[in-house]
Amino acid sequence: MTSKLGGNRQKQQNKTANKSKSASSQKSDSAVVAKIKQIAPETLKECSHTLPADSDYYRLQSESHGGSNVFFNQAGSDCRFNLVDGKTGAMYLATSPETAMKEVFQNKSLIESDLDGYYMGIVTTERDLTILRSSDLIRKTSLTLHDLTTSVRQDTQYLARVVHHAGFDGMEYPSNVTTEPCFVLWHGDPSGKGMVKTSQQSKLTDWDFSNGKEVADILVFELGISVEED
């Protein structure tokens, strides 16, 4: 599974517009899309939640990219809530550094030196953001948690486009590897100008975790991710 909360930015940028357009133009006749089509605009509004300005979230990425942990990927046809419309980018954020790591490193084989190439950042909202809370949407509609965590990207991306078209800045959804809340935000500028900024960045191996543990120990003993010695 391709990481959503970080990874190689250059590879994301190299995805062609034709691939994105092809993915977005595909239509799905799935039961999930049928459920989404039945959701009234008023119901979406009832699921609205505000992320206040100056709220902090976490994003892990490979390389420092000039000290910025903000990147709205306009391709990403393999990412759950990307719009793949060729003009609007998506960025995924976690509410803890542990979830950010689990999302990026799940199903990867790591050696300790690999960790030196990753950077953890705190991304801060610059204004109040209007978010759709998926737990409210599940409670108020026939959608299920499985519908939101399915690997069928046509279904989840269709929901993302509906939510974005309704005027939301993003969505809150549960991580399917830790169950903690995560967020997807949408923006037309890859830099996220006026929406979010990088407040802090450091190499993952230098990150100051609240429990004082080293990153390799957290990955192995708390997140179940194998890290081999060099």
| Residue pLDDT tens, the chain, 230 long | 344 466 555 545 544 444 444 443 344 469 999 999 999 999 999 999 999 999 999 999 999 999 999 999 999 899 999 999 999 999 999 999 999 999 999 988 899 999 999 999 999 999 999 999 999 999 999 999 999 999 999 999 999 999 999 999 999 999 999 999 999 999 999 999 999 999 999 999 999 998 789 999 999 999 999 999 98
Residue 164 inside a domain? The answer is yes
The whole-number pLDDT of residue 109 equals 85
The whole-number pLDDT of residue 21 equals 41
Tokens standing for residue 212:
């004082």
Helix segments in the chain, DSSP class H: 9-13, 17-25, 31-37, 41-46, 97-105, 134-140, 145-149, 153-165, 215-217
Task: Look at the chain and report how many structural domains it folds into.
Answer: 1
Q: Which helix (H) or strand (E) holds 129?
A: strand 129-133
Tell me the pTM. Answer: 0.86
Q: Which of 50, 35, 34, 222 is nearest to 141 (CA)?
A: 35
The whole-number pLDDT of residue 22 equals 40
Residue 5 inside a domain? The answer is no
Residue 102 inside a domain? The answer is yes
Residue 10 inside a domain? The answer is no
The whole domain housing 180 covers 41-223
Residue 147 inside a domain? The answer is yes
Residue 35 inside a domain? The answer is no
The whole-number pLDDT of residue 230 equals 85
Taking each helix axis from N to C terminus, what angle separates 17-25 and 153-165, rounded to the nearest 10 degrees?
A: 90
103's CB contacts (< 8 A; 6+ apart) are 3, 4, 5, 6, 60, 92, 94, 175, 177, 178, 182
- Whether residue 72 contacts residue 10, with contact meaning beta carbons closer than 8 Å, is answered with no
Residue 21 inside a domain? The answer is no
Residue 63 inside a domain? The answer is yes
Distance CA 157, CA 78 (A): 10
